[in-house]
């Protein structure tokens, strides 16, 4: 018996109505219903119980009410921190055990985190790996040391210090850890890294080659710039900069010293003339 609450909750109704009735719900080998914890960039967050095999699109856009603020759906992470991400091409994927495994993800505990265009997938992979690395018990070398090395590489990439060979190294480490770690935690920890590299390789390359974070999340890669044609020289940004990184003369275009800027974003929020852009 799998001792989890969801299994226990199914047992009374199976006794009441019979196994045949229960088996009619669901798809293929995945019988019955599944509770998903719908979270992230979706209008209706919370627990939803659906027949196994309900598509990702139905869960996110029908039950979840779609993505807030007219943003574009980018990805959904299933299976918690050890799962993988699904993308737009997977929206019509039936959410059942077999289909999720076939696309490199998993059902896990039913976690379903929705991401929009403002999420950086390199940062997402780093965030999930940080969690699993922290959870590693340390008994076996691939998980104890391997996940640590992977996290170091991902952090390096988000800081703009990544090299192209890092992607190859990440994939090699991930494949080795999956094949050699002792338990499920280590074997599944590389999933978010592998699935984001597979689905969002361009985003990794933007961080590595162009030193840019397309979603404007990785702070070290952000650049605040003043557009001189739009700047009225009011000085409001200078007065609100905590690092004195902005200088200029009244009624002339101001400038930002990138070597001092700590990327706090104060100037962008304060400028009344939209003269500051975030790149």
If the CB atoms of residues 87 and 266 are measured against ligand SF4, the closer one turns out to be 266
According to the binding rule CB under 6 A, does residue 277 interact with ligand SF4? no
If the CB atoms of residues 7 and 228 are measured against ligand SF4, the closer one turns out to be 228
> Cβ of residue 254: shortest distance to ligand SF4, in angstroms?
4
According to the binding rule CB under 6 A, does residue 250 interact with ligand SF4? no
According to the binding rule CB under 6 A, does residue 140 interact with ligand SF4? yes
| Of residues 257-276, those binding ligand SF4 (CB under 6 A) | 261-267, 270-271, 273, 275-276
Cβ(241)–Cβ(277) below 8 Å: no
If the CB atoms of residues 35 and 236 are measured against ligand SF4, the closer one turns out to be 236
Cα of 230 vs its chain's centroid, Å: 35
According to the binding rule CB under 6 A, does residue 107 interact with ligand SF4? no
> Cβ of residue 81: shortest distance to ligand SF4, in angstroms?
13
By CB under 6 A, name the binding residues for ligand SF4.
136-140, 143-144, 181-183, 185-186, 224, 226, 231-237, 241-243, 245-246, 254, 256, 261-267, 270-271, 273, 275-276
């Amino acid at each position: 018996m799998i001792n989890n609450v969801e299994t226990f909750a199914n047992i009374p109704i199976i006794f009441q109505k019979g196994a045949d009735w229960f088996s009619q719900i669901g798809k293929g080998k995945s019988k019955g219903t599944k509770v998903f914890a719908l979270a992230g960039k979706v209008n209706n967050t919370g627990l939803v119980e659906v027949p196994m095999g309900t598509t990702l699109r139905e869960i996110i856009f029908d039950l979840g009410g779609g993505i807030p603020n007219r943003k574009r759906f980018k990805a959904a992470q299933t299976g918690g921190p050890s799962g993988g991400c699904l993308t737009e091409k997977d929206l019509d994927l039936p959410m059942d055990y077999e289909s999720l495994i076939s696309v490199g993800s998993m059902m896990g505990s039913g976690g379903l985190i929705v991401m929009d265009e403002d999420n950086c997938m390199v940062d997402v992979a780093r965030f999930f790996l940080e969690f699993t690395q922290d959870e590693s018990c340390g008994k076996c070398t691939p998980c104890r040391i391997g996940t640590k090395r992977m996290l170091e590489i991902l952090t390096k990439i988000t800081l703009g210090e990544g090299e192209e060979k890092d992607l190859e190294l990440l994939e090699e480490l991930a494949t080795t850890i999956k094949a050699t770690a002792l338990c499920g935690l280590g074997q599944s920890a590389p999933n978010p890294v592998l699935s984001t590299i597979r689905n969002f390789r361009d985003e990794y390359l933007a961080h590595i080659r162009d030193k840019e974070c397309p979603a404007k999340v990785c702070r070290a890669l952000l650049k605040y710039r003043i557009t001189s044609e739009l700047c009225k020289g009011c000085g409001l940004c200078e007065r609100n900069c905590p690092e004195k990184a902005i200088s200029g003369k009244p009624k002339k275009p101001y400038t930002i010293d990138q070597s001092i800027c700590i990327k706090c974003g104060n100037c962008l929020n304060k400028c009344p003339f939209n003269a500051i852009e975030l790149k």
